[in-house]
Structure 1
């Protein structure tokens, strides 16, 4: 097993290592080792205020402090690097990021390309020409309404120092917005189950131009992009744009591209296809 790669899995916004349990089971059945990590302030480090429980206390939820306040992208990067250093003692490493986790793995690859044998994005942010927030003003993101979840935002981000979203809301409009963005192709039970794995708080730091993909470091690493063909929160058009921009940055090291059917979360709930793609990367 020492020469077989370890998959290091980095979650997206409001998520945690628990999201990857079904995928890890499939990878294990295919004979592959994996580590799903929790970024700082996530998983068992997350804050679930008493006001978040039922019956909810909206005023208390708006003001209860959260452990993720002050957590930065640099903190995420330092944590992932520490995990990679440990994982690499056992052989090669494939670093995988989903959604917002792509911001973190890009910054990690800029800082320590020597620790990564392949980097893999699954419908994940790979900022090259623009900062992440600026992509939302581009035509490829025209179908995404950044205010769709406004009714579920539970606190003033500037005052709280974090983005707090009430995923336990009973508001039908907010639930419909969540369903459209993440889980239009899941059953009602699958959607609600996944929603209950989300934590209410996410940090505010999505990086700057210094954290975009850098040709001299990030650009040296073999890379894969797994497109999600029916994703409505990261539309295929923006996934393709980031692939094109990255390939233009380092044309001698283009993305190896795969496409899976389904929306933003389906590959985590029904992970067999994704596990087979990842297993193929390990075998290559």
Structure 2
């Protein structure tokens, strides 16, 4: 891997924390038939949420709470190496050893997109025993949604992408960030830690007090957030992410993924995955399966999601309509 590519992957992963991590800081058809897993089609669907890079299931909590209070059934997945199993380097603790932080190994160096996929497939399989399933991914989590949709379309009643990557023609996340439609992305402007290439990870120092880092990260991910909310956001993130995810082929399969009803929730103020890039992925998917096109909704929000949650809660609640 070249230094340029490694820096690109680092900055991408370091800045694509999950949507709901931002929310923690915020103020108040041709598809397999939705047969409810053999329950007569009368049980409510279960939302299964997949987080983005450097985040965890806990990031989705504010949205799960609101959806549950509306009568929906929800759960969020901790991808392998995240949540309770996250690795926080010794050098990450204060006082930080920034040189050691560049070389300290991480278990995430051995985790792959296949591991993420297998884990979510098992969760979906278990959830399906109770009725229909809606699988939702944000940001990098869209890669896992693609893979799960390719593998087990018969278990999914709808898939949804929340300002998420959805590779169709190009193989990888990194390929899309190099596309012309990504020219306005700020992903590559964010300073990061030059983790040793042999570690197999990207590493971000969310505890940094460097004004340049904080200003560029905020501009890319949460430009309209109050500073206090932004600090809460980044302190909910995990430092390590597996580097290979952004360079792994995650293209959809028209014969399997293409059968599942799907929704794309665009973020109109996203500076990580600009609207033009979101629209490209939507258009490519619709061209691949013209008889099963994306339902598209737009929420005014930066990459981490809206500071006020109600518009996104409404868009998520809509996913369950007609599924029972």
Partner of 2:180: 139
Asked if the contact 1:129–1:212 (Cα under 8 Å) also holds between the matched residues in 2, the reply is yes
Which deviations, in whole Å up to 9, do the C-alpha atoms of 1:31-79 show, x marking residues without a partner?
1111111100111111111211222111221222212111000000000
Structure 1: distance between partners of 2:133 and 2:157: 5
SS in 1 for 2:47: strand
Q: How many residues align?
A: 281
Gaps of 5+ in 1: none
- Specify the alignment match of 2:309 in structure 1: 271
Quick check: 1:280 aligned with 2:321? no
| 1:153 CA displacement | 1.7
Unaligned runs of 5+ in 2: 1-40
Partner of 2:163: 123
* Rounded Cα–Cα distance in structure 2 between residues aligned with 1:232 and 1:208: 21
Tell me the equivalent position of 1:52. 92
What residue is the counterpart of 2:244 in the other structure?
Answer: 205
Indicate if the aligned counterparts of 1:26 and 1:271 stay in contact, CA closer than 8 A.
Answer: no
Q: Which residue of 1 is the match for residue 53 of structure 2? A: 13
In structure 2, C-alpha distance between the alignment counterparts of 1:152 and 1:139, rounded to whole Å = 23
CA drift at 1:266: 2.8
Match of 2:16? none
Task: Find the residue that maps to 1:283 and give its secondary structure.
Answer: coil
Q: Which moved further from structure 2: 170-179 or 75-84?
A: 170-179
Query: SS at the partner of 1:94?
Result: strand
Aligned partners of 2:55 and 2:238 also within 8 Å: yes
Equivalences for residues 61-140 of structure 1 within 5 A: 61-131=101-171, 132-140=173-181
Aligned residues of 2:167 and 2:281 also touching (Cα < 8 A) = yes
Aligned-pair distance for 1:136? 2.0
The reply on whether 1:37 has 2:67 as its aligned counterpart is no
Superposition RMSD on alpha carbons, in Å?
1.6
What is the rounded CA distance, in whole Å, between the counterparts of 1:207 and 1:194 in structure 2?
22
Change (3 A) 1:29 1:5: same
1:261–1:146 distance in 2 versus 1, CA, 3 Å: closer
- Which of 160, 185, 192 lines up with 2:199 in the alignment? 160
Q: What pairs with 1:177-188 in structure 2 (closer than 5 Å)?
A: 177-188=216-227
Report the alpha carbon displacement of residue 281 of structure 1 after superposing the two structures with TM: 1.8
Contact 1:127–1:242, Cα closer than 8 Å, also in 2: yes
Q: Deviations over 1:95-137 (max 9, x none)?
A: 0000000011101111111111100000000000102211222
Q: Aligned to 1:238, which of 277, 280, 295? A: 277
Deviation, 1:238, is 0.4
Who is 2:14 aligned against? none
Contact 1:247 1:255 in 2 (8 A): yes
Q: Which has the higher contact order (CA 8 A, sep 6+)?
A: 2
